[in-house]
Amino acid sequence: MFIVKKKKGESDDALLTRFRKKTISTGLLPELRERERFKKKSEKKKEKLYRLKFENKLAKKRNY
């Protein structure tokens, strides 16, 4: 949990952009999306394997 307070003379748009950057940097949104519904262990395992295969594929392309 984090708090973003409005600075003196700061516009609402600037406050929102600081808030968005803070949520992205802390990884809060992906965690919330992950918790939206229950996932079985088998689903998590499949996602993990897919992620590893994808990362390996990208690494091969980069090193080529």
| Confidence at residue 27, expressed as pLDDT on a 0 to 100 scale | 86
- What is this structure's pTM? 0.51
d(CA 16, CA 18) in angstroms, rounded, equals 5
pLDDT digits (tens, 9 = 90+) for 4-60: 899 999 999 999 999 999 988 888 888 888 889 899 999 999 999 999 999 999 999
- Give the domain ranges of the chain: 12-63
Say if residues 45 and 30 touch (Cβ distance below 8 Å): no
